């Protein structure tokens, strides 16, 4: 058991919060890195990085909101320089599957001079329950572009388990874990699984990328919409319509199926609506 803290950058995010909680449950000292944490970490304020990295031997690195955002790769490069100067030994990077800018970020970490593990993740199942698609699901619809493209959607709990294992156990340094779910699903398939789990119809509504942009812009502004639409255009073209074995290799078990995620999440009341 290491005594120096493990830094979790993005500790309030979907994956970071799970990673931090799991590490603490195992008795590891954790430094939660976020703008409002006890030792703040802010990607937009490099002056916060040194204190967050002080005394740290390993760190989980996520970039909010996505490595595709302008300037993200350059900030990641600067963070790696700061981490190396602070004698950090090991970085675990969350990367995006099929994303050009994410690959650039991976190369920055590979060439940093520190040990690394890269977790390259498919599309998150929890986007339906914790992200911008929760409200449409509550309304009974799943509006997505991409037509009948198939996606090996991944449960974030599997991602967190892989990250925690990479941070705390031997044998994972230098590895690339490309993590996907166990089967390929269209968004129509996902709507069917959600309908069965929730107990009411969820209808897949094919939309254009332009409509997708408009929906995100309404919720998060034009700049955010520009980036996320660009990611959708890049990745929802069939390039990710294949399975990978990262979860099995890292954990020695298969990934959780989307149907199991949907059933478990429905049982928590995440998709409950008032009568």
pLDDT in tens, 193-235: 999 999 999 999 999 999 999 988 887 788 888 888 998 999 9
Cα–Cα distance for residue pair 45/152, rounded to 1 Å: 35
Q: Which two tokens stand for residue 125?
A: 């199942």
Find the mean pLDDT for residues 141-168.
96
23-to-41, 68, 168, 198, 270 alpha-carbon distances in Å: 19, 28, 8, 31, 25
List, for residues 64-74, the tens digit of each pLDDT value: 888 988 899 99
The yes/no answer on whether domain 6-123+155-180+241-255 falls in CATH 3.40.50.300 is no
Task: Give residue 2's pLDDT band: very low, low, confident or very high (50, 70, 90).
Answer: low
Q: Which residue has the tokens 């970039």?
A: 63
Find the mean pLDDT for residues 176-203.
98
Cα–Cα distance for residue pair 239/142, rounded to 1 Å: 21
Give the per-residue pLDDT at 84.
98
Find the mean pLDDT for residues 25-45.
97
Least confident stretch, 23-27, 60-64, 215-219? 215-219
**Do the beta carbons of residue 204 and residue 144 sit within 8 Å?**
yes
On the question of pLDDT at 175 being above 60, the answer is: yes
Instruction: Name the pTM for this structure.
Output: 0.95
Give the per-residue pLDDT at 274.
53
Residue 174 main-chain phi, psi, to 5 deg: 85, 0
Find the mean pLDDT for residues 247-257.
98
Domain assignments of the chain as residue spans, ordered by start: 6-123+155-180+241-255
Q: Which two tokens stand for residue 54?
A: 């002080």
Give the chain's mean pLDDT. Answer: 95
- Beta-sheet pairing, 6-9 with 30-33: parallel
Task: Give residue 275's pLDDT band: very low, low, confident or very high (50, 70, 90).
Answer: very low
Cα–Cα distance for residue pair 31/166, rounded to 1 Å: 17
Task: Write the secondary structure of the chain as one string of H (helix), E (strand) and C (coil).
Answer: CCCCCEEEECCCCHHHHHHHHHHHHCCCCEEEECCCCCCCCCCCCHHHHHHHHCCCCEEEECCCCCCCCCCHHHHHHHHHHHHHHCCCCEEEEEEECCCHHHHHHHHHHHCCCCEEEEEEECCEHHHCCCCCCHHHHHCCEEEECCCCCCECCECHHHHHHHHHHHHHCCCCCCCEEEECCCCCECHHHHHHHHHHHHCCCCEEEECCHHHHHHHHHHHHCHHHHHHHHHHHHHHCCCCCCCCCCHHHHHHCCCCCCHHHHHHHHHHCCCCCCCC
Find the mean pLDDT for residues 146-173.
97
Q: Which residue has the tokens 């967050």?
A: 52
**Do the beta carbons of residue 53 and residue 84 sit within 8 Å?**
no
Q: Which residue has the higher pLDDT, 215 or 24?
A: 24
């Amino acid at each position: 058991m290491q005594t120096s803290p493990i830094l979790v950058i993005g500790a309030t995010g979907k994956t970071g919060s799970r990673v931090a909680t799991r590490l603490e449950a195992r008795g590891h000292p954790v430094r939660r890195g976020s703008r409002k944490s006890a030792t703040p970490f802010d990607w937009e304020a490099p002056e916060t990085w040194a204190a967050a990295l002080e005394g740290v031997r390993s760190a989980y690195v996520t970039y909010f909101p996505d490595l595709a955002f302008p300037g993200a790769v350059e900030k990641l490069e600067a963070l790696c320089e700061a981490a190396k100067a602070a004698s950090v030994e090991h970085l675990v990077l969350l990367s995006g599957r099929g994303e050009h800018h994410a690959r650039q970020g991976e190369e920055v970490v590979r060439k940093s001079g520190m040990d690394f593990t890269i977790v390259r993740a498919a599309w998150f199942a929890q986007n339906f329950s914790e992200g911008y698609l929760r409200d449409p699901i509550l309304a009974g619809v799943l509006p997505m572009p991409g037509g009948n493209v198939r996606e090996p959607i991944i449960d974030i709990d599997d991602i967190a388990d892989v990250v925690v294992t990479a941070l705390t156990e031997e044998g994972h340094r230098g590895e690339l874990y490309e993590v996907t779910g166990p089967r390929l699903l269209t968004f129509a398939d996902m709507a069917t699984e959600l309908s069965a789990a929730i107990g009411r119809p969820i209808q897949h509504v094919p939309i254009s990328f332009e409509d997708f942009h408009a929906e995100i812009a309404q919720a998060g502004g034009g700049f955010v919409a520009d980036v996320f639409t660009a990611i959708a255009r890049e990745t929802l073209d069939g390039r990710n319509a294949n399975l990978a074995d990262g979860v099995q290799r890292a954990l020695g078990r298969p990934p959780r199926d989307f149907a199991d995620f949907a059933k478990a999440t429905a049982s928590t009341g995440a998709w409950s609506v008032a009568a």
